[in-house]
Chains A and B, each alone.
Chain A
Amino acid sequence: MENFDVIIVGGGPAGLSAAISAANAGMKTVVIERGDYPGTKNVMGGILYTKATGMVVPEFWKEAPLERPIIEQRIAMLSGDETIMAGYRDPAWAVDPYNAHSILRVKFDRWLAQQAEKAGAMIITETLVEDLLYQSNNVVGVRTGRAEGDLGAKVVILAEGVNNFLAVKAGLAKPLKPASVAVTVKEVIALPKEKIEDRFCLEEGQGATIELYGDSTAGLMGVGFIYTNKDSISIGVGAILEPMIRNNWTPNDLLENLKSKPYVKRLLQGGETKEYLAHLIPEGGYTQVPKLHRQGVLVVGDTAMLMNSLNREGSNLAMISGKIAGEVAAQSIKAGDVSDQAMTVYETRLRDSFVLKDLHHYRHMGKFFEENTHLLKAYPKIFSKAAKMYLTADGTPKKERQKEIIKMVFENRSKAGLLKDMYGAWRALL
């Protein structure tokens, strides 16, 4: 049996970041990935944040396969055929210092794996880790599905993604519940770059994002998204699994519903679907974060439920958690102490960073939306009605029209209800 300092289960952003920091610290490191190569099984909406990625691979934007730097973020609220929009645009984001880029994971993750190899980590693909190896109660390695498949390790980092089989087996996490995961489906639709730039008012080398609320998810708790790539558009929609099951929606129904909206349809027109992807997203939030460590084990990324869906941040939380885990693993190994006590440094550092701070900040959000399912149905309708009334020039004096609008709002939602929603939203989000 070959022995390593650090074994990382899973070749996504969290696992590969852990590999880079562990290998940079001189650890004998291996990443075990079940796909043909890192990236083949990895899915996200498609936005990569510069700051976090740069902490893992400095100046990565000079070499990494990126699509477009994001200079504009729009929010759209759909109600039937009507749309309300808001957004922010700054062309300064098209150059260093960037804020975020659109990416295609199949290319980016493969590149990140090459960086891990350059740092000295070994990548083993097409291999599934089936269990951890124990010696009495201590984790001492992993068992893979291959012949002679045991490997020894001082620290195992679980970066297995949202499907947390090993973390559950090790008693660190609970099995996923349909209420705490979202299912997201996505298509990559090819379009000539000129068309993309015209439709989204972009120059070459600029990108835009749109998040779509309301009818984009047919009133289910979730969000739709459209991201511009170099010569394709990523469009997708995600919603919490439990209400989808209850309402008998399939992921594909949701996507087709979104694509049929007039505002969306025109953006995609003439494009050819090149890829169809689907994945689960951990949406449990702060209260569902599993135990992050035990003797010889650290849990990172999606497996650790590190996901801030409101700000659509996930890969950056994953990468920072991976980076810290790799560093903590190396420190503990060098100090000759990989006990649970030594591993708590990982959790402390996550708590001191934005990763757990953001999750803690939004800790009431999941429950708030879960208990107030009317929000995504009622408000898009109220807002678009109000906007339409306000903008329609039909000879009604404005003072009268404003009264009508206020009346309409109260007809759709009582004063008490409005106050309750506002207080709830304030508690959940601010």
Chain B
Amino acid sequence: MHFVVCLKQVPDTSEVRIDPVTNTLMREGVPSIINPYDAHGLEEAIRLKEKVGGKVTIVSMGPPQAKEALKKAMSFGADRAILLSDRAFGGSDSLATAYILSSALQKIHETEPIDLVFAGKEAIDGDTAQTGPGIAQRLGFPQLTYAIKVRELTDTTVTVERKTESGRQIVQAQLPALITVEKELNDLSYASLPNMMKAAAYEPEMWNFNSLPFDVTQMGLKGSPTSVSRIFAPPGRTGGEIIDGMKDPKGTAESVVQKIFQQNIIMVHPLAKGGKH
């Protein structure tokens, strides 16, 4: 079976700060990591490959430095990695990115038919959750989003458990299909040494604008209808009020209770009558 994993290299958002003056992301010196959701998609693809046999291909779009993320991804036991990198792709939003990735997947599909595509539910640097579904739509694959468990994989179908706001759903799709995944899907495993060595010696395939019959109007800044009007940091928290309870315990307790009701942290039920607080 042929598994394809869509993977993005993202800045480690736990270390990104926002320049307070220009309101732009300060990416300098911030380490890059594999988007954590994508890592779980990769893990699942590797596990399924080990179970049913086949091949795992990783596809990513990004600057040439993203090669590092792909080499690292290879160490978990993937078989092939392709990096789509070209100045023409720069500035693409999720619509254009889905176009570029789906074109690449289409080409792969023609020579090595794809059975199952994994993508993270979203990237931690953009949080749009649009690219995975966009790829499925363009390829005409059914999409199973927010998967937390792959329950069954047969030669023709895949069944997953997905997380919804109100609970869980079990859904099935015909192959080929695309699954976007949550972190609960699995626990990441530790790469074996032979796989580490294979990855250290591996050079990802580089594809550029000329590798495929791309439509230039559908990519880059021009092909991206999304415009980001402003990036801002949430306002910092102001310190709370500190009341010294030692001086006047009773008065303090009363004023705390007052504040709780004044700020509607606890509300008096409209039907409660005659109660004194």
User: Which A residues lie at the B interface, using CB under 8 A?
Assistant: 2, 30, 36, 122-124, 127, 144, 146-151
In the complex, A292→B196 CA distance in Å? 30
Q: Please pick, from A36, A123, A144, the residue contacting B193 in the complex, using a CB distance under 8 A.
A: A144
Q: Is B26 an interface residue (CB 8 A)?
A: no
Contact B200 A124 (CB under 8 A): yes
Which residues of B lie under 8 Å from residue A148 when comparing CB positions? 192-194
Question: In the complex, how many residue pairs between chain A and chain B have their CB atoms under 8 Å apart?
Answer: 30
In the complex, A106→B31 CA distance in Å? 12
Contact A147 B200 (CB under 8 A): no
Dominant SS at the A interface? strand
Contact B194 A2 (CB under 8 A): yes
Contact A122 B193 (CB under 8 A): no
Contact A124 B194 (CB under 8 A): no
Which residues of A lie under 8 Å from residue B193 when comparing CB positions? 124, 127, 144, 146-151
Dominant SS at the B interface? helix
Which residues of A lie under 8 Å from residue B190 when comparing CB positions? 146-147
In the complex, A429→B201 CA distance in Å? 49
Q: Is B197 an interface residue (CB 8 A)?
A: yes
A425 to chain B, nearest CB (A): 44
Contact A124 B197 (CB under 8 A): yes
Contact A2 B197 (CB under 8 A): yes
**Which residues between 182 and 228 of chain B lie within 8 Å of chain A, taking CB atoms?**
190-194, 196-197, 200-201
Q: What would 20 A/B residue contacts be, using CB atoms closer than 8 Å?
A: A2-B197, A36-B31, A122-B197, A122-B200, A122-B201, A123-B200, A124-B196, A124-B197, A124-B200, A127-B193, A127-B196, A144-B193, A146-B191, A146-B192, A147-B190, A147-B192, A148-B192, A148-B193, A150-B193, A151-B193
A12 to chain B, nearest CB (A): 19
User: Which B residues lie at the A interface, using CB under 8 A?
Assistant: 31, 190-194, 196-197, 200-201
In the complex, A144→B196 CA distance in Å? 12
Which residues of B lie under 8 Å from residue A144 when comparing CB positions? 193
A384 to chain B, nearest CB (A): 41
B185 to chain A, nearest CB (A): 21
20 additional A-B pairs beyond A144-B193, A149-B192, A149-B193, beta carbons within 8 Å, are A2-B197, A36-B31, A122-B200, A122-B201, A124-B193, A124-B196, A124-B197, A127-B193, A146-B190, A146-B191, A146-B193, A146-B196, A147-B190, A147-B192, A147-B193, A148-B192, A148-B193, A148-B194, A150-B193, A151-B193
In the complex, A150→B197 CA distance in Å? 12
Measured CB to CB, the nearest residue on chain A to B33 is A36
In the complex, A146→B77 CA distance in Å? 13
In the complex, A148→B197 CA distance in Å? 11
